[in-house]
Structures are given as C-alpha cells and as structure tokens.
Amino acid sequence: MPNTSRNPPATEADDGFRHPLHLQLLAELASSLKTSRHALLCGDVGQLEQLTVEQALLCARILPLAEADDKRAHDAGAQPDAGAASALLAAQERILHLARVQQALLRRAGQRSRILANLLVGTDSEYAPAAQNHGVDCRAPGAKRR
C-alpha cells in the first residue's frame, strides 16, 4: 500500500520517458525508507512490517517502468535529456544510501536480539570475548572451549 498522500498521483501512461513518474516513485520509496528507519530505531515492529510491504510494492512498480524506459530508449536510439537523467541518478543514489543505512540498522538489531536471546537462555551463561574474531562467546559454566 504505497503512501501516495505525500505526492500528487502520476499515471503510468505518460508519454516519452517516465522520469517524472520514476522520480515520484523514488521519492515515495525514500520517504518510506526514512520512516522505516525511524520505526526501527523506536522498536515499532508493526510499522516496520507495514513499511516493508509498502517498499516492496513501490519496487515492484519502479522496476518495470525502468525496464520499459531502457527498452524504449534502446529501440528508438534516443537519449533522455541530461537534466532528467541526472535527477533520476541522484534519486537512485539516495535510495541506495538509505537502503544501506537500513541494512546496517537491521543487522545491529539482529545482533542485539541474539544477545538478548542468549541472556534469556539462562543466568548461568558466561560471556567472554572470542579470541579469534573478537565476537561474543556464550558458554555454560564448566563447559570447555572448542
């Protein structure tokens, strides 16, 4: 369910290159990624799940449009104007940056979840740095290290 309240609706039947539609969809995706970053930092799993579905739907709309534009440009031998192409590239780079931030935050949340799960396993567990990878080593008292 893409949130289209932020931007005016655009049609997928625009003539020529669809840069305005691409830019609008990329802007919606960027906004959704920013909102999901906030939800992740606040621990709002429900909103994060909803935004993930929204992002998947937006990606499903963006990819076919990009492929159609590439095919149309290749078949016609035409090139989009430089201004529109640079705006599209800047939007794509912004999405890539936001996705990398999201990935890092999700990785950190997963690590935290594993640590908490290990703590809940039992209070007899000892945590010590692993010698080889400087990670966390959880073992029961009296257990031998491998």
Q: Summarize pLDDT for 7-44 with one digit per residue, the tens.
A: 444 444 444 445 678 889 999 999 999 999 999 999 89
Task: Supply the pLDDT for residue 68.
Answer: 77
- Which backbone phi and psi does 126 adopt, to 5 degrees? -115, 140
Q: Tell me how far apart the terminal alpha carbons of the chain are, to the nearest angstrom.
A: 49
Q: Is the pLDDT of residue 143 over 80?
A: no
What DSSP line would sit under the chain, residue for residue?
----SSS----TT-SS--HHHHHHHHHHHHHHHHHHHHHHHHT-HHHHHHHHHHHHHHHHHHHHHHHHHHHHHHHHT----HHHHHHHHHHHHHHHHHHHHHHHHHHHHHHHHHHHHHHHH-TT-EEEE-TTT--EEEE-TTPPP-
Q: What is the mean pLDDT of residues 40-58?
A: 94
- Taking alpha carbons only, the member of 124, 122, 119 closest to residue 136 is 119
Q: What is the mean pLDDT of residues 77-96?
A: 79
Confidence of residue 83 (pLDDT cuts 50, 70, 90): confident
- When the pLDDT of each residue in the chain is averaged and rounded to a whole number, the result is 76
Residue boundaries of the structural domains of the chain: 19-108
Q: Summarize pLDDT for 93-103 with one digit per residue, the tens.
A: 999 999 999 99
pTM: 0.64
